[in-house]
Amino acid sequence: MTHSSPSAARLHEIAEDVHAYIQPDGGWCLNNAGLITAGGRPLLIDTAATEARAGALKEAVSRVTAHAPRFLVNTHPHGDHTFGNRLFADEAVIIAHEATRAEMDLAGLHLTGLWPDVCWGEIDVELPSLTFRESTTLHLGDVRAELLHLGTAHTTNDTVVWLPGQRVLFTGDIVMSGATPFCLTGSISGSLDVIGKLRALGPLTVVSGHGPVGGPELLDSTEGYLRHVQELAAAGIAAGLTPLETARDADLGPYSGLLDSERLVPNLHRAFAEARGAAPGHHLDIGELFSEMVEFHGGLPACAA
């Protein structure tokens, strides 16, 4: 599939005053965002990786509301969801889990070093100024937006945005649509636990961190992939293989068509560690995991941000 330019992204109204911003094709650093325009107090959910892509998002927002976002929620610290904060920081209060803020501060612009050929533009790390630990609620006109941290999943500090009145769920990267889930700094077992909690909310519309908008079937497909990873890890451990060897022998079955399949390697490292008793989010050598993923892929995965 051909990666898209910033102009290919689209803002879709998925409920009254609720929009999803989708950047095709949803691969590396081509993330989704969300916008709630109710009551003249817009809430933006995540930004984008580069100055150009964040600028395209800002322009799209201006086409549907005369009000600049008053609030901006970062669902997790990764740069594809946060590097564009700077373009909205003059008007918006940036909100995130307290550990998201700390991780953003620690990581800085590290992501740009992984893909030095990407035209990142004038970006910087704009940290959240309002943080929470478990949950907080924003009241936007008639729309109630619940910000929930439900446990370690994609990272140790993910936030989902749940609109109970509209039954719309913005999952960040806990859930993927047509792309491979990624637990480099999070947890396989923790993701499964959190997905169970998301399913219990009863969403009708699910906006994942990457890929097309869907429904609760996106929870099912993400869960299915992660359980398959656990099964592969159990078989690899029984055979005395390493995660990389297990990945090379793996049959992804119904998940073989997902974008960015090389994420299997760090996912298997997580599953191996957890099968041996590691807690969700247990520290692993992230540089080593990323390097093994690159080796498995046969080179640096393409990033079209």
CB 234 within 8 A of CB 275: yes
Using one digit for the tens of pLDDT, what is the confidence trace for 16-34?
Answer: 999 999 999 999 999 999 9
Average pLDDT of 295-302?
96
Q: 25 preceded by cis ω (within 30°)?
A: yes
Handedness of CA 11, 13, 14, 16 (dihedral sign): positive
Q: What is the pLDDT of residues 186-232, one digit of tens each?
A: 999 999 999 999 999 999 999 999 999 999 999 999 999 999 999 99
Mean confidence (pLDDT) of the chain: 97
Contacts of 59 (CB under 8 A, 6+ apart): none
Over its C-alpha atoms, the chain yields an Rg (Å, rounded) of: 18
Q: Where are the beta strands (DSSP E) in 196-237?
A: 205-208
pLDDT reported for residue 33: 98
Under a CB-based contact definition with an 8 Å cutoff, are residues 233 and 246 in contact? yes
- Predicted local confidence at residue 7, as pLDDT: 81
C-alpha pair distances (Å), 117 with each of 135, 206, 302: 38, 33, 10
Is a pLDDT exceeding 50 seen at residue 2? no
- Band (1; pLDDT cuts 50, 70, 90): very low
> Do β-strands 71-73 and 93-97 pair in parallel, antiparallel, or remain unpaired?
parallel
Closest CA to 293 of 257, 254, 258, 260: 260
Q: Which residues make beta-bridge pairs with 36?
A: 18, 43
Predicted local distance difference test score (pLDDT) of residue 17: 97
282 CB neighbour count, 10 Å cutoff: 14
CA-CA distance, 144 to 296, in Å (whole number)? 44
* The token pair that represents 246 in the structure block: 């297990």
